[in-house]
Amino acid sequence: MPDSFTLPIDEPQPSQLYLSQAKLDGVLSWCDPDDPQYDPLPVIELDGEWTLIDGHTRAFVASLAGHPELRVVHDRDDHPRDLYRRCVDWCREAGITRIDDLHGQLVSAETYQTEWIDRCQAAAKAD
């Protein structure tokens, strides 16, 4: 399989519970909804499925614009798979199994930091 490819937008499992308003504002400031140009978003294969490990805001904007596919790249770096598994478990528990499920998960930059970044950092330290 080539490193860079496309996936149906509803296929990759998100690994993030929230979207930051500040990040969304930033992406909306440069993204052309008719022709979104973004670097391929990194995915890893986790337990037999593609998992989005970064670029959730860009994927969300592509979804808002009605694009049926995402440009992705198979990230082959050595990522903390146990931590990503835990993040995916949190997402599934919250009913987030595709990008569209992030609707309603937009929070302020401060809330994003305390509710998501700090939570992930604590989980990484516990591993």
How confident is the model over 42-67, as pLDDT tens digits? 999 999 999 999 999 999 999 999 99
Q: According to the model, what pLDDT value does residue 1 have?
A: 44
> Residue 86 contacts by C-beta under 8 Å, 6 or more apart in sequence?
123
Whether 2 shows a pLDDT value over 60: the answer reads no
Alpha-carbon distance 70 to 40, whole Å? 8
How confident is the model over 73-111, as pLDDT tens digits? 998 888 889 999 999 999 999 999 999 999 999 999 999
Q: In 3-state terms, what secondary structure has residue 75? A: coil
Alpha-carbon distance 69 to 9, whole Å? 4
